[in-house]
Amino acid sequence: MSLLELVNISKRYKMGDIFINALDNISLTIENGDYLAIMGPSGSGKSTLMNIIGFLDVPDDGQYIFNNQDTIGLSEKELAYIRNRQVGFIFQTFNLLPRESAIENVQLPLIYSGILRKKRLIKAAEVLDSVNLKDRMNHKPSELSGGERQRVAIARALVNDPNIILADEPTGNLDSKTGNEILTVIDNLNAQGRTILLVTHDQTIAGHANKKIFLKDGKIVDIK
């Protein structure tokens, strides 16, 4: 069963007096439980595609069906609602609040969902435990290693039980050993039935996915 479907999606940006086609007539279907990697050179449209899939940006043309809902034309508030409850993000730079503890960082999406604090912290603690950070949940990011910080970010992505997890170069700021540990965590999430979309330029990292989507000049040029 398909989780989302992009049909003839295009996105343009104005640079000076000219328009750049960041995405040019993209069509793509992602099934529940898929593990995909988006690949391509710099400027190929990888991040733009991820941002549209994750409702951080909207296309100029085309149709986007997510979880059987046509999302084109929805208000920013409606898109934010879907984004908060159905999409989890893992970023290369972790994007953690430096003054907050691991558990406070993880419970942030639940604040926007209107969950009471006691329930938020119980859920955040459970998810941190699932990524082996039970003993580090009261530590601030500066007191954690790079791998631990990324696992906090993964826990934050999981806390609302999203339909899809979008990981943008999730090992980019980590050494190879720690990066492999993070990829094992992501692999295990997919084995548990989570839908994963990786954005990467690294063939080795993309090798963890079951399907690779290659972009060039805003177009899908190959799927393997």
* 169-186 pLDDT per residue, tens: 999 889 999 999 999 999
* 29-43 pLDDT per residue, tens: 999 999 999 999 988
Task: Decide: helix, strand or coil at residue 174.
Answer: coil
Global pTM reads 0.92
Measured CA to CA, the distance from residue 48 to residue 58 in angstroms comes to 9
Measured CA to CA, the distance from residue 120 to residue 108 in angstroms comes to 8
Comparing CA positions, the residue from 139, 104, 144, 142 lying closest to residue 124 is 104
pLDDT at 2: 92
Measured CA to CA, the distance from residue 8 to residue 174 in angstroms comes to 36
* 152-168 pLDDT per residue, tens: 999 999 999 999 999 99
* 24-81 pLDDT per residue, tens: 999 999 999 999 999 999 889 999 999 999 999 999 999 999 999 999 999 999 999 9
Residue 113: pLDDT band (50, 70, 90) is confident
pLDDT at 160: 93
- What domains lie within the chain, and their CATH numbers? 35-48+75-223 (3.40.50.300)
